[in-house]
Amino acid sequence: MKRVIFNILIFLFPLVFVVYLLPVDRRQRYIQLKDDCSWQGIWLFDRIHHNNTAATIVFLGSSHTLNGVLDDYIEKRISKYGMHVVNFGYCRYGVNLYPVLLKEILSTKKPKYLFLEVREDENRYSHPVFPYLADANDVYFATPFFNRDIGRDYFDSFLYRLKLLKVQYFRPDSLVPFRNGNFGYMGSRDTASQTLLEKAKKDQIKHPQNLGLPERDFYMAFPRFYLKKLATLCAENNIQLLFLYIPGFGFQENRPLEYLTYKKYGPVLIPPRNIFEDTNNWFDESHLNRAGAEKLSEWVADFLEKNADP
C-alpha cells in the first residue's frame, strides 16, 4: 500500500509542477469568485489595478468592516488632507488573507495607513478564499502551527488553478466589465429584531470566548504568525498599521482578547461602547446597519482629523 501511495505521489508531482508553472490571468482569480461575497473580489481587483485613484487609507477586515466602515463619508470628512479612503473588506474570517490582499494593493498603490479589523477574539483558521487568491509560495509554505486547514488549502489551491487554466485555454469567459467605483462599503439600512439581538447577547454571556493561557498560545500561533507577517509588510512599506475593534452585538469584553498582540504592532482603537450597545445600529447580531456605520465612521473620521499626517 505504501508503495502504491508513493507511486501516485511521484506521478502527481510533475503535474502539480506544470499546473503552477503555467501563467494564469490574475484578474481571473477574482472573476471566478463570482458566487462569493456578492462578487466583491472583482471590484477589489479592479479598484487596485484599473482605477487610478489613490488608496491612501485602507481598511481590511471581514463583513464587519464591509458593513461598518463608510469609506466615502470618511474621505469627505478628511478631504482637506487630499487622502483617499478605501474599504477593502472581504466576507468571513481568516487573518492569512490580509497579507495576500495587502501585497495586491501594494502592486499599484502606496497606502499610508492600514486599519485592520479586530473582533472579540482572533479567528484561528485559514480564510476560505486564501487558497484561491494566494500565490503558490504563500499556500505551500504556509505555517503549519496550528494550521488546521493546511491540507484543504493545498487541495483547493491546486483545483482552483486547474479551473483557471481550463477557463483561460478552453472556454474563456466573456469580458467582465471593469468595476470603477472608488468605495467598497456594502451595508444595509435594515434594523435587526430585538428578539435576535437579545438572544445574541445571552449567548455571549453564556459562552465566553476566552481560552486558558497554554491553550491560547497553542491555538493563536496561526493568526499571530500572519499578524506579524502583515505588520512586517507594513513596516517595510512605511505604512502605519492600526487595529480597529468592531465586535458583534452583546460583546462582553471592553477590548479584544488579543489586545497585547495587536499592541506590539500598532495602536488599538476602541470605539465607544454606546455605538455597539444601541440596538438601532444593527442589521443583525454580527453587522452594523447604515445608522451604526455612520456613527462608527464619524468616530474614525474624528480620530483621523486629529491624528492623520497628510
Identify the band that residue 169 occupies on the pLDDT scale cut at 50, 70 and 90. Answer: confident
Q: What is the pLDDT of residue 5?
A: 42
Residue with cell 468605495: 183
Grid cell for residue 244:
480597529
Write the pLDDT tens digit of every residue in 81-120.
999 999 999 999 999 999 999 999 999 999 999 999 999 9
Q: What is the pLDDT of residue 44?
A: 98
Domain that holds residue 46: 23-307
pLDDT(46) > 50:
yes
Task: Report the predicted TM-score, pTM, of the whole model to 2 decimal places.
Answer: 0.93
pLDDT(243) > 90:
yes
Distance CA 190, CA 154 (A): 39
Identify the band that residue 6 occupies on the pLDDT scale cut at 50, 70 and 90. Answer: very low
Identify the band that residue 213 occupies on the pLDDT scale cut at 50, 70 and 90. Answer: confident
9 Cβ neighbours under 8 A, 6+ residues apart: none
1 in a structural domain: no
Grid cell for residue 292:
451604526
16 in a structural domain: no
Mean pLDDT of 184-201: 95
The CATH number for 88's domain is 3.40.50
Write the pLDDT tens digit of every residue in 286-295.
999 999 999 9
Mean pLDDT, the chain, integer: 92
Residue 42: what residue type? I
132 in a structural domain: yes
Contacts by 168-174, CB closer than 8 A, 24 or more apart: 168/24, 168/25, 168/28, 173/28, 173/31
11 in a structural domain: no
- Residue 269's nearest CA partner among 109, 148, 117 is 117
112 Cβ neighbours under 8 A, 6+ residues apart: 56, 57, 83, 238, 239, 240, 309
pLDDT(4) > 80:
no
Q: What is the pLDDT of residue 161?
A: 93
Question: Of the ranges 1-15, 30-44, 112-126, which one carries the lowest mean pLDDT score?
Answer: 1-15
Write the pLDDT tens digit of every residue in 179-189.
999 999 999 99
12 in a structural domain: no
Write the pLDDT tens digit of every residue in 69-88.
999 999 999 999 999 999 99
18 in a structural domain: no
Domain count along the chain:
1
Q: CA dist 69 to 100, 278, 291, 300, 309, Å? A: 21, 17, 11, 9, 20
9 in a structural domain: no
Q: Residue 21 phi/psi, 5° resolution? A: -75, -35
Distance CA 1, CA 112 (A): 56
Distance CA 205, CA 188 (A): 27
Grid cell for residue 250:
452583546
203 in a structural domain: yes
Identify the band that residue 9 occupies on the pLDDT scale cut at 50, 70 and 90. Answer: very low
Percent of the chain with pLDDT over 90: 79
Grid cell for residue 171:
472556454
Q: What is the pLDDT of residue 173?
A: 60
Pair 67, 188: CB distance under 8 Å:
yes
Identify the band that residue 309 occupies on the pLDDT scale cut at 50, 70 and 90. Answer: confident
Q: Residue 41 phi/psi, 5° resolution? A: -60, -45
pLDDT(307) > 80:
yes
Q: What is the pLDDT of residue 15?
A: 65
